[in-house]
Amino acid sequence: MTGKPLKDYFVEKDMPALRSPLVHPFSNFDVPHLLGIHAAARPDHPFLIWEPFEGEARTWSYARFEHEVKQVAAGLKKRGVKKGERVLIHLDNCPESIIAWYACAHLGAVAVTTNARSVEDDLVYFSEHAEVVGAITQPCFAALVATACKHIKWLAVTETDNGAAPEEKNRPPKSESFAALYGDIADVPMRAPEPMLPVGVQYTSGTTSRPKGVVWTHANALWGGKVCAMHEDLRASDVHLTYLPLFHTNAQSYSVLAALWVGATVVLQPRFSASRFWPISQKHGCTWTSMVPFCLRALMSQDLPKSHSYRYWGNGISSPPTDNHFGIKTIGWWGMTETITHGIVGDIHLPNRPMSIGKPSPAYEIAILDDNGASVAPGETGNLLVRGVPGLSLFLEYLNNPEATANTYDDQGYFVTGDRVTLGEDGFISFADRDKDMLKVGGENVAASEIERVVMTVPGIQECAVVAKRDPMLDEVPVVFVLVPGGEAAAPKDLAAQIAAACAKGLADFKRPRDIRIVDALPRSTLDKIAKAELRKIVNGD
C-alpha cells in the first residue's frame, strides 16, 4: 500500500463516506453459491422442515430445496423479472416465503419482505416506494395486495394460508397460483457471483413518519449467516426452530441464514405457539431457537418436558432467571436490521453477566458516547453507535433515500442507532432505552410518528402525542393524547370512535392505540415541544 492513499483501496458507492472493500470474506461468492455448495455436499440432509398448525408437515432436503428455488426463479424470469428488479413477498411464515426469497437471490432480483399485518395504506407505500414489479402472497391477503399494489405486472398466490385451507372466495385461479411459478431450471443457469448486488429490502420503523427500506446485499446476507453462526456456535448437526416472522432480521439472518451457513436444519412454524413449542421441539430434536420476552413468559405457563435437546437460546438478555427453570443457557444479544447480525452479543463458552446484552462483537466497532460526543466511563449510560462496512457488515443504504442514509452516520463513519446502553464496570453492556419516540410492541418496532400521522387525519384535533405504556405481556403498548380546544367536554362525542376507526384503517393492529385520552392541554418543554416524558409518567403511574 506504499505510496497510495487508503481511499483508493475502496470502491465508492453512492457517497464518498460509505465504501465497500475490494477484498472481503465473500469476494466471488453470493447466496446461490452458498446454497449450491450444501446441495452438492449433503443433498439428502434436511434443510427445511415445515410444521403447520393445520395440514401435513413437509421436509425439503438441501437438494430438493435448491431445485425448487431454481424452478421458482425460472418462473419469475418467465414473468419478466430482471436482475435488480424488486418483488414483494407479503406472507406469514410458510415454506413459500423462504423459497421465494432464495429464488429472487438466484435470479439476481431483490426480495422485498413486508409485515404480514400491514394494512392497505402500508402496502400502497411499500409497493410504490420499492417499485415492485410483482407480488407473492397468500389467499387471505390476495385481494388486499391486488388492490394496494396497483402497478404490479403479476401476482402469485400460495395454495393455502400457511397450511390451512383458504376460504373458497380467496382461492387463486391456476394462472395466479404459486405453483404456476415453477418453471424449467435450465432457463436459470447459475449467475457469476455478485456479492455487492442487492438481495433484500426490509422496511423498518424509525422516528420519521414512514418506514425506511433497508437494503441488504448478498455480502450482507452472507455476513449475517456466517457471523450469526459463529456467535451461536452452530454446527451442521443443529436444528434451529424458527417461529419469529420471516420478514424480520431475526428469522432471516439469526435463524435461516445462520443455519444455511453451516448446513444445519430449520424447523419452521407459522408463528409462536406455547402449546406446540415443546412437542415440536422434541419431535425434531431442536437444539437452538431465538426467544423474545413475550414467548418466554408464555412458556413459563407450560409443563416442562423431562428432557429436550436444546443447547442454547438467544434473547435480548443473557442468563435471565428463567434459565434455571428451563435448564438452558441463554445468550443475550443486540442488533438491528441495519447491522444484519448482532453488534453486541453474549459469549457461548464463558459466563455472561445476567441481564446484560453481552460485549461488543469482534465483527464491529462499538462506541458509547454522551450527548457531547465523549466516550462514557464505566457505569455510565450513553448513545450507542456502531461502525462497520456498508454493504458488508452494515446495510448498503436506505432505498431511494440518500439523505436518510447520510444522516444516519456521524462524522467518523459510525452508524447512529438511536439506542442508549450502559457500560458496566466488568465490560458487559446493558440495554437502557431506545429513542423515546420508538415503541416496542410485542417484539415489533413502532414509531410514534406513524401513529400520530394517522390520528391527525381526524378533523378537529389540534395536536396529538403517542407514548408507550408498560404492558406485562407485550412490553409496551401505544397510548395517544389528543389535544382539542376545550378538552373532552368540547370534543365531538364520537371523537374517540373516529380516531379508533382511522387507526383501524390506516395502521396494522399492533400499532393501534390501546387508550385514547382527549385533553385540553399538553405538558410542554423547551421550545414549546410536547413533554412526552411527563406523558409517560402519567400513563405508567411513575
Give the DSSP H or E segment for 68: helix 62-78
pLDDT at position 527:
52
Contact 506, 454 (CB under 8 A): yes
> What cell numbers appear for 538 in the block?
402519567
Contact 288, 263 (CB under 8 A): no
Write down the H helix ranges in 423-486: 448-455
Contact 322, 354 (CB under 8 A): no
Rounded Cα distance, 222 and 99, in Å: 17
The model's confidence at residue 172, banded by pLDDT at 50, 70 and 90, is confident
Q: What is the mean pLDDT of the chain?
A: 92
pLDDT at position 226:
98
How, if at all, do strands 154-157 and 134-137 pair? parallel
Question: Distance between alpha carbon 481 and the CA centroid of its chain, in Å?
Answer: 29
> What cell numbers appear for 45 in the block?
440432509
The stretch 305-318 carries a mean pLDDT of 96
Rounded Cα distance, 119 and 141, in Å: 10
DSSP 175-221: GGBGGGG---GGGSPPPPP-TTSEEEEEEE--SSSS-EEEEEEHHHH
pLDDT at position 542:
77
The stretch 401-423 carries a mean pLDDT of 94
* DSSP conformational letter for 92: S
* DSSP conformational letter for 302: S
Count Cβ neighbours within 10 Å for each residue of 210-236 and write b for 16 or more, e otherwise.
bbbbbbbbbbbbbbbbbbbbbbbebee
pLDDT at position 447:
83
> What cell numbers appear for 389 in the block?
462496512
pLDDT at position 209:
63
* Range with lowest mean pLDDT among 89-98, 122-131, 230-239, 444-453: 444-453
The region, left, alpha or beta by phi > 0 then psi within -120 to 50, assigned to residue 527 is left
Name residue, grid cell 443457557.
Answer: 329
Instruction: Answer whether residue 481 shows pLDDT above 60.
Output: yes
178 Cβ contact partners less than 8 Å away, ≥ 6 residues apart: 96, 136, 156, 157, 158, 159
Give the DSSP H or E segment for 95: helix 95-107
Contact 335, 342 (CB under 8 A): yes
Contact 58, 68 (CB under 8 A): no
Top pLDDT among 449 and 163 is at 163
pLDDT at position 534:
87
The stretch 352-368 carries a mean pLDDT of 97
Task: Give the HSE-up count for residue 51: Cα atoms under 13 Å, Cβ half-sphere.
Answer: 22
The stretch 244-264 carries a mean pLDDT of 97
Instruction: Answer whether residue 17 shows pLDDT above 50.
Output: no
Calculate Rg over the CA atoms of the chain. Answer: 23
Rounded Cα distance, 269 and 287, in Å: 15
Contact 68, 220 (CB under 8 A): no
pLDDT at position 297:
85
Contact 107, 81 (CB under 8 A): yes
Count Cβ neighbours within 10 Å for each residue of 327-363 and write b for 16 or more, e otherwise.
eebbbbbbbbbbbbbbbbbbeeeeebbeebbbbbbeb
The stretch 360-369 carries a mean pLDDT of 97
How big is the CA angle at 178 (ends 177 and 180), to the nearest 5 degrees?
A: 70
Backbone angles phi, psi at 136, to 5 degrees: -120, 125
What's the full length of the chain, in residues? 542
The model's confidence at residue 5, banded by pLDDT at 50, 70 and 90, is very low
Give SS3 for 453: helix
How big is the CA angle at 507 (ends 506 and 510), to the nearest 5 degrees?
A: 165
The model's confidence at residue 66, banded by pLDDT at 50, 70 and 90, is very high
The stretch 416-436 carries a mean pLDDT of 90
- pTM value is 0.86
Reference 60, options 280, 225, 256; nearest CA is 256
Instruction: Answer whether residue 3 shows pLDDT above 70.
Output: no
